[in-house]
Amino acid sequence: MKKEIENIKKYVRATNYLSAIQIYLKNNFLLKEPLSFDDIKPRLLGHWGTCPGINFVYANINNLAIKQQAKFIFLLGPGHGFPALQSNVFLEGTLGKYYSEATKDDKGIGYISKNFSWPYGFPSHSSPATPGVILEGGELGYSLSTSFGAVLDNPDTIAVTLVGDGEAETGPTATAWHLSKLLNPASDGAVLPILHLNGYKISGPTLMARMSNKELKELFHGYGYLPYIVDGYGDAVYKTMSNVMENCYKEIRAIQAQAKAGKKDPKKYPRFPMIVLRTPKGWSGIKELKGQKMEGNCLSHQVVGKEAKTDGDELAVIEKWFKSYKFEELYKNGQFVDEINSLIPSPELRISDNQITFGLKDTKRDLLFPDISQIQNPNVVPGSNKELISAMRKIGTLFNEIFKLNADRKNFRLMSPDETYSNRLDEVFQTTARVWSGKIEKWDTDMRPDGRVMEMLSEHSLQGLLQGYVLTGRFGVFASYEAFVQIVSSMADQYAKFLKIAREIPWRGDLPAFNYILTSSGWRQEHNGFSHQNPGFMDSLLQKHNNFVSVFFPADANMAVAVMERCLKGRNEMNIVVAEKTPEVLWLTPDQVKKQMKTGVMTWDFASDTNPDIILSAAGQYLTNETLAAVELLKKELPNVKVRFVNISELSANTLGSSQTKMSLAEFESYYTSDKPVIFNFHGYPETLKQTIFDYQNKISRLSVHGYMERGSTTTPFDLHLRNRTSRYDLIIEAFEKLAESGVISAVVASELKEKYNKKTLEAIDYAKANGIDLPEIMNWTWSLK
């Protein structure tokens, strides 16, 4: 045991040295010459304070992996502790496997040090360019939820997750502690959280660091864990940590073995272990500088001795610090000594080379699909109300069939913060259930330990779960109310950044798509009011100018099934599907859906004339219905006017239609002509569509966009359209104006027709006020043009 501890201490000394020089040095990496101003980088970046704790934890995971011959993955919560992570990935040899210059010799040490936080080098935090990383850490709060997602359906995997004490103050982390309650210990892996309390954020203490050990034990016992406290920074802490890590491993395997043997207490959640680790900020670093306390204080959070490039006193203190590690005792003749190499696991056990973190394709876990033509409705009379079908219900049918086909593969999960029933996906409960590892009352429904539906009223937690699940090569969908998915906009942005880089890394696998369903859209949240009306999530992702983000607007249930199949078959992309819960009319046959899916934009012939005088175009199921109602009214009022209807079912940052190829101007004009007026009716904010069509405007006044204008309340569905100028009456009034401007009809005729429909608008408002519902002619409208 003593030799084992001494080896860990030497390993930590080596990685602490490697971490420190990455922050400071651009040459003279082995201090063979006295340290000079020229050796110091011109910009000192990185966070030293958290690095020693990371190195201490990583060394102990290595030790445990060797002793138990077990595979682990490591997720780093503290955002800018990357120098430590890189030191370990370098020392174990994995970095050199994927970066030929990262050899474990003088040149390799120089390579990682010079290139840390250097233009076109390594960033200051974890990134997809680092082997073993599935969490970027540029934004705090997601390490736990991502870890739990990674171990779902990976029964042999233990994710050791270092949660920073600043990170522990975030909302996403606070809810993620509960995710252990959604693990099935018989078929899932486990997460070993290590809460690292080094005391401080950038300029002040953290809340949990000032709690007593007793309070922390009570807190995490209340969360459902078996907490261990590891406290101190002398020799004793090394022995304590080694013992605690081994105990935690045994506790985890015992819980899993009991569950697999059917001996788990069904009335209780399994009590998994977790560790509270207290070590000083900047442990082993500069103790004091210019009369101010450094180690164990917030001043060691980032760079200690920021003026080392120009201040001789600071330079001397840093040189003394570096030499205190006695690196020459640990690295001799171009090689690390045997004591350090003894802490490096065999290649198949190396943490950062665990292949599940690469998302590599496993054909045994590919997703199997049903024949969707058996789910879609083949006989469609466009716009007939004889058969009203909910798009979400049909998607639920698709998911249920996927769960059936993939029951043995365990490769598909549904995340549903707003409840699966509410989202009309409950047909999946014919095959699976909501996962629940605690007590189940006799009156509870659709709950069992092996369920594959993850329900928790925390969008943050479910977003993180799906990130971990997808980044380890499995498939899933995150279904949420459109207005409330906004809470994870920042997480989605971070994932998009991760994916953008991951797509460029040759040794990373083709990741399954990250798929969102946005339902309960604002257009049918008129009963819940203004707070439930927000289509802004798509806008945030479309701003990223990535060619792997698509937003889909299926116009009916048949198209919704095809869109969802396409999204689940996608790789290395993010998809948003805007699908509606209410029963609505069908517009397209399965064959017509196939045709539109190829382009994402299609002229609907049954509602269009050749050589049109005006084009009406829509994206979104409710907006499509309103626009086609406007087309019908326009044809009835002006039979000689030629109208074209164009439906948009896919939108990206770059173009209408598929994100893979930008629609050319010629293609755009094949739908919208080069000179005729076009009125768009868009599901989201008008500005979202305007940014996409801007490049296609050869005459700015001919194109106009209607959409949600932040005018909401508790009202009726049609009145919500009236308030936002997306109603059939608003569209037809503008059509009269544009037709008059282009000389197709006279100004007198346009004026008379506008007055007629302005009166109809007032009638609709008065009827809603008096009756609490919309006019029968609105509610019962069906397409009647032949």
Taking only the tens place, the pLDDT of each residue in 194-252 is 999 999 998 999 999 999 999 999 999 999 999 999 997 778 999 999 999 999 999 99
546 band by pLDDT with thresholds 50, 70 and 90: confident
The secondary structure of 287-329, three-state, reads CEECCEECCCCHHHCCCCCCCCCCCHHHHHHHHHHHHCCCHHH
CA pair distance 13, 7, nearest whole angstrom: 10
Q: Please, what are the domains in the chain?
A: 2-344 (3.40.50.970), 363-584 (3.40.50.970), 601-779 (3.40.50.920)
The tokens of 762 are what?
């007032």
CA pair distance 556, 391, nearest whole angstrom: 6
Q: How far apart are the first and last CA of the chain?
A: 86
Q: Say which DSSP state 74 is in.
A: E
CA pair distance 15, 60, nearest whole angstrom: 13
Distances in whole angstroms, Cα of residue 485 to Cα of each of 124, 127, 707, 717: 29, 25, 19, 22
Please report the sign of the dihedral spanned by the C-alpha atoms of residue 493, residue 497, residue 498, residue 502.
positive
pLDDT score, position 742? 94
- Top pLDDT among 522 and 11 is at 11
2 band by pLDDT with thresholds 50, 70 and 90: confident
**Which residues lie closer than 8 Å to 457 by C-beta, 6 or more apart?**
417, 418
- For tokens 């819960």, the residue is 581
Q: Are 435 and 449 in contact (CB under 8 A)?
A: yes
Q: Are 756 and 739 in contact (CB under 8 A)?
A: no
pLDDT score, position 766? 97
Reported residue count of the chain is 786
Q: Which pLDDT tens digit goes with each residue over 318-361?
A: 999 999 999 999 999 999 999 999 999 999 999 999 999 998 87
Is 520 exposed, middle or buried (CB count within 10 Å of its CB: 0-12, 13-18, 19+)? buried
Q: Are 53 and 283 in contact (CB under 8 A)?
A: yes
pLDDT score, position 362? 74
Q: Are 16 and 57 in contact (CB under 8 A)?
A: no
pLDDT score, position 523? 87
pLDDT score, position 705? 96
Residue 265 has pLDDT above 90, yes or no: no
β-strands 273-278, 292-293 pairing: unpaired
Q: Which pLDDT tens digit goes with each residue over 375-430?
A: 999 989 998 878 899 999 999 999 999 999 999 999 999 999 988 999 999 999 99
Range with the poorest average pLDDT among 476-490, 578-592, 699-713, 761-775: 699-713
pLDDT score, position 516? 98
Q: Are 339 and 6 in contact (CB under 8 A)?
A: yes
Query: Three-state SS for 733?
Result: helix
CA pair distance 316, 322, nearest whole angstrom: 10
CA pair distance 458, 488, nearest whole angstrom: 10
pLDDT score, position 704? 95
Residue 313: name the closest of 114, 35, 21 by CA.
35
pLDDT score, position 699? 62
Give percent helix, percent strand, percent coil of the chain, each to the nearest 5.
45, 15, 40
Q: Are 63 and 1 in contact (CB under 8 A)?
A: no
Residue 182: name the closest of 217, 221, 145 by CA.
145
Residue 731: name the closest of 681, 676, 687, 780 by CA.
681
* Cβ neighbours of 44 (radius 10 Å): 18
pLDDT score, position 136? 87
**Which residues lie closer than 8 Å to 747 by C-beta, 6 or more apart?**
740
Is 307 exposed, middle or buried (CB count within 10 Å of its CB: 0-12, 13-18, 19+)? middle
pLDDT score, position 587? 97
pLDDT score, position 698? 60
β-strands 583-584, 574-578 pairing: unpaired
Residue 700 has pLDDT above 80, yes or no: no
Residue 695 has pLDDT above 80, yes or no: no
CA pair distance 786, 632, nearest whole angstrom: 10
CA pair distance 728, 401, nearest whole angstrom: 38
Average pLDDT score, the chain: 95
